[in-house]
């Protein structure tokens, strides 16, 4: 999918993740977020158009998505262990990653 579609998928599922207390819904939402974040790594943000794949800017963009993916993995483990409150607390932390990276790349 293109980057905007991936971001919309991330945002839709993040909304569900923040709202639900259901273990299955939480796990599915996080899995959908992860798949879209992985796919977003294949795209180049319009702001970085023309940058070489190995440029510091593209590497930093990938690092931002890897940070989010790491946080999603942590939240997923907690959700799968039935630690719903802790999973949702971890998910709250995605906001800082989003804001920091949007400042740079959006």
Contact footprint for ligand HEM (CB under 6 A): 3-4, 7-8, 10-11, 14, 45-46, 61, 64-65, 68, 94, 97-98, 101-102, 105-106
Phi, psi of 74 (to 5 degrees): -60, -50
Q: How far is the CB of 79 from ligand HEM (least distance, A)?
A: 16
CA–CA distance, 84 with 2 (Å, rounded to integer): 32
Q: How far is the CB of 31 from ligand HEM (least distance, A)?
A: 14
- Token pair of 100 as six digits: 């920091």
Q: How far is the CB of 38 from ligand HEM (least distance, A)?
A: 12
- Token pair of 5 as six digits: 């579609």
Question: Is the Cβ of residue 7 or residue 79 nearer to ligand HEM in the bound state?
Answer: 7
Query: C-alpha angle 26/87/27, rounded to 5°?
Result: 25
């Amino acid at each position: 999918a293109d980057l905007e579609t991936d971001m919309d998928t991330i945002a839709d599922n993040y909304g569900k993740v923040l709202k639900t207390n259901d273990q299955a819904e939480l796990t599915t939402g996080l899995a959908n977020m992860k798949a879209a974040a992985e796919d977003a790594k294949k795209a180049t943000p319009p702001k970085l158009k023309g940058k070489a794949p190995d440029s510091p800017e593209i590497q930093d963009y990938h690092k931002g998505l890897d940070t989010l993916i790491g946080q999603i993995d942590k939240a997923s483990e907690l959700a799968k262990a039935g630690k719903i409150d802790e999973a949702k607390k971890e998910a709250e932390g995605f906001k800082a990653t989003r804001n920091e990276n949007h400042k740079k790349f959006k």
